[in-house]
Amino acid sequence: MVPTSYYLVLSAILFGLGVVAFVSKRNIFIIFMSIELMLNAVNLAFVTFSRSLGQLQGQVFVFFVIVVAAAEAAVGLAIVILIHRNRGTLNVERVDSLKD
């Protein structure tokens, strides 16, 4: 049996990758995907703890996260499409009209 810590390390690595991509990438689409990656890293941690502690709450919570992530993806993608349509770019550094 694979020890619990392996899963947790994998989850941490996935989350760290997500964070790095979230901060460093300029393409809004990649940023969006890095958020999904972080969410799934968290889901993995939830399931791991659920299993090791023998409690179901963690798995139930994962369902909620998936549902919210799906909704967020739907809305987020719509926004991405609209930004692309209006500005012809996906570079977040050029989406800065709030500054004015």
Partner 1 sequence: MPALSYLWIIPLLPLVGAAANGIFGARWPKNVVTGVALSSTTLAFLAALEVVREFMELAPYQIPWTKSYFTWISAGGFRADFALQVDQLTVIMLLVVTGVGWLIHIYSSGYMHDDPGYRRFFSYLNLFMFFMLVLILAANYLLMFVGWEGVGLCSYLLIGFFFTKQSATNAGNKAFWVNRIGDFGFILGVLLIFRTFGTLDFASVLPRAAAMAADPAGQIGTLTAIALLLFVGAAGKSAQLPLYVWLPDAMEGPTPVSALIHAATMVTAGVYMVVRSHAIFLNAPVAMQVVGVVGCLTALFAATIGLVQTDIKKVLAYSTVSQLGYMFLACGVGAFSAGIFHLMTHAFFKGLLFLAAGSVIHAVGGEQDMRKMGGLRKKIPVTFWTMFMATLAIAGAPGFSGYFSKDEILEAAQHASPVLWGLGVLTAGLTSFYMFRLLFLTFFGKERYDEHHVHVHESPKSMLAPLVVLAILSVCGGWMAAPQLWGGVNHFQHFLAPVLATASEPATAAAAETAPGGAEILQTLFGAPVIAGLLGFFLAWWMYCKSPETPKKWAASLSAPYKLLSGKYYVDELYAAVIVRPLVWISDKVLWHVVDEGAIDGAVNGIATVSRESGDRLRHVTSGNVRSYAAWIVAGALVFTSLLIWMVN
- Which chain residues interact with partner 1 by CB under 8 A? 19, 22-23, 26, 28, 31, 92-93, 95-100
Could you tell me the CA-to-CA distances from 49 to 6, 17, 100 in Å, in that order?
A: 12, 21, 46
Minimal distance, residue 78 CB to partner 1, in Å: 17
Give the burial class of 46: count Cβ atoms within 10 A of its Cβ; 0-12 exposed, 13-18 middle, 19 or more buried. buried
Nearer to partner 1 among residue 5 and residue 91 (C-beta) = 91
Minimal distance, residue 100 CB to partner 1, in Å: 7
Minimal distance, residue 42 CB to partner 1, in Å: 12
Nearer to partner 1 among residue 53 and residue 95 (C-beta) = 95
